[in-house]
């Protein structure tokens, strides 16, 4: 079956991208190694925030289909590799999914095909990892027989303002002709394209975007730690600083960083730099601060308990919001896990409330979920606002009957303590 595009990896990046392609009138198929994902999409169910069931149904009606059969790749004019790039247990880059996807494409590569890597990785991945796999297994050459490009994803789950179509998209190619084909493809459904000098520049730009956030979040977190020690209201400091109309970009402190990008991408940059004998000292310092924040939250919560009723076997903490980001159902790398683990290690019973998460485990241990917020606050000895979901009304939390540790600076009340 011939299609305009096959999207490999139908997760938080691939599914919105496939939807954009379908909306632009491109015949689109999706490939994923997860039978559960494929079955759900085939039955019209979305597993990705930002893409609704109704939108999946519209995609299916327009001809989209998902499959776990890699043979679908052979009929594509363009293949987009959107598979995850995580970390190994040792904290080093794990490119196994990219390598597996590249092999699957190589075995079905045809002359004239455009292959684009969208997965975030270190500079050199397209040229040094993907290209050799494609060329050696297929016998075809990039730039001559097929076209190979890199275009980093810029998906922001839960963002209703910026989507695939109106977010400027970086495009690069292994050759000028490869870049030209990639630009022509993305120009069909993206408004603004930014042409990079080469694939390494595009890969580095993506890492810089997320590393910028990583470092600045660490900065305001450390400022928060200092302000707590010095008796300074960090939230007022941030409010005042943010009024400067130039030279300052506001960031907010919190219990730590989460998600697939911010905690992971800087490790790709650091690992690549280390392999070339370069040490990113700022990344190391930021990592130290950010990994400390969940422990700081635990210490503050335990201090609140000690200052009220003390701790006993039935002392209960309530975590409010366990996702890594507000109003998304995503718990990847969420700081809620180390916070919960620290409280459990201190002998505190831990419950959680989150409208987006029905099951939440910490070190294989499922945490009890509260569904009635008012009742849960009444039964808790301390509550910790970890994620500021829209459902958490400022006034209601401010009137909570138990002490509330607010890590997001949203609430006010006699029993509220700000991070």
pLDDT tens for 33-66 read 999 999 999 999 999 988 999 999 999 999 999 9
What pLDDT shows up at residue 159?
Answer: 86
Percent pLDDT > 70 in the chain is 99
Backbone angles phi, psi at 35, to 5 degrees: -60, -30
What pLDDT shows up at residue 335?
Answer: 96
What pLDDT shows up at residue 309?
Answer: 64
pLDDT tens for 274-322 read 999 999 999 999 999 999 999 999 999 999 998 776 666 789 999 999 9
Quick one: pLDDT band at residue 3, thresholds 50, 70, 90? very high
> Distance between CA atoms of 301 and 376, rounded to whole angstroms?
17
The mean of the pLDDT values for the chain is 95
Residues in the chain: 419
Read off the pTM. Answer: 0.91
Architecture of domain 3-197: 3-Layer(aba) Sandwich (3.40)
Q: Which residue has the tokens 């970890």?
A: 386
What does the block give as tokens for 268? Answer: 């790709």
What pLDDT shows up at residue 260?
Answer: 83
pLDDT tens for 346-362 read 999 999 999 999 999 99
What pLDDT shows up at residue 1?
Answer: 80
Quick one: pLDDT band at residue 326, thresholds 50, 70, 90? very high
pLDDT at 252 over 90: yes
Pairing of strands 3-8, 404-406: unpaired
Catalytic residues: 261
Provide CATH 3.40.50.720 ranges for the chain: 3-197, 235-418
pLDDT tens for 57-69 read 999 999 999 999 9
C-alpha pair distances (Å), 129 with each of 49, 74, 96, 136, 298: 31, 21, 11, 11, 42
pLDDT tens for 153-195 read 998 888 889 999 999 999 999 999 999 999 999 999 999 999 9
Strands (E), 26-165: 28-31, 65-67, 76-81, 86-87, 93-94, 114-117, 147-150
What pLDDT shows up at residue 47?
Answer: 92
What is the arithmetic mean of pLDDT over 120-133? 97
Architecture of domain 235-418: 3-Layer(aba) Sandwich (3.40)
* DSSP at 200: H
What does the block give as tokens for 161? Answer: 């303002």
What does the block give as tokens for 314? Answer: 């039935």
Pairing of strands 404-406, 382-385: parallel
> Distance between CA atoms of 363 and 255, rounded to whole angstroms?
19
Residues 360/367, Cβ–Cβ less than 8 Å: yes
pLDDT at 90 over 90: no
């Amino acid at each position: 079956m011939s299609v305009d595009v096959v999207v490999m990896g139908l997760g938080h990046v691939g599914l919105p991208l496939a939807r954009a392609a379908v909306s632009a009138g491109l015949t689109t198929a999706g490939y994923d190694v997860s039978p559960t994902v494929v079955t759900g999409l085939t039955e019209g169910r979305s597993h990705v925030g930002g893409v609704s069931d109704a939108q999946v149904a519209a995609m299916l009606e327009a001809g989209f289909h998902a499959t776990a059969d890699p043979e679908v790749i052979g009929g594509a004019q363009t293949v987009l590799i959107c598979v995850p790039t995580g970390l190994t247990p040792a904290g080093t880059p794990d490119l196994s999914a990219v390598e597996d996807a590249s092999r699957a494409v190589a075995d079905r590569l045809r002359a004239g095909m455009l292959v684009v890597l969208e997965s975030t990785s270190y500079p050199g991945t397209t040229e040094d990892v993907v290209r050799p796999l494609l060329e050696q297994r297929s016998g075809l050459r990039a730039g001559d027989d097929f076209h190979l490009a890199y275009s980093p994803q810029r998906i922001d789950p839960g963002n209703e303002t910026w989507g695939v179509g109106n977010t400027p998209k970086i495009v690069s190619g292994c050759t000028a002709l490869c870049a030209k084909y990639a630009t022509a493809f993305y120009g069909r459904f993206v408004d603004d394209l930014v042409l990079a000098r080469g694939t390494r520049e595009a890969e580095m730009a993506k890492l810089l975007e997320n590393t910028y956030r990583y470092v600045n979040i660490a900065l305001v977190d450390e400022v928060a730690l200092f302000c707590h020690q010095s008796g300074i209201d960090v939230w007022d400091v941030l409010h005042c600083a943010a009024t400067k109309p130039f030279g300052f970009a506001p960031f907010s402190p919190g219990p730590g960083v989460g998600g697939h990008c911010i905690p992971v991408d800087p490790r790709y940059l650091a690992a690549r730099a280390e392999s070339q004998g370069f040490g990113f000292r700022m990344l190391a310092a930021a990592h130290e601060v950010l990994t400390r924040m969940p422990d700081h939250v635990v210490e503050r919560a335990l201090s609140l308990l000690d200052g009220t009723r003390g701790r006993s076997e039935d002392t209960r903490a309530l975590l409010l919001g366990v996702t890594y980001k507000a109003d998304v159902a995503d718990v990847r790398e969420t700081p809620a896990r180390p916070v919960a683990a620290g409280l459990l290690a201190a002998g505190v019973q831990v419950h959680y409330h989150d409208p987006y998460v029905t099951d939440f485990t910490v070190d294989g241990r499922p945490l009890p979920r509260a569904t009635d917020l008012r009742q849960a606050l009444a039964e808790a000895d301390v509550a910790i606002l970890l994620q500021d979901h829209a459902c958490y009304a400022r006034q209601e939390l401010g009137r909570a009957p138990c002490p509330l540790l607010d890590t997001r600076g949203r609430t006010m009340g006699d029993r509220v303590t700000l991070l």
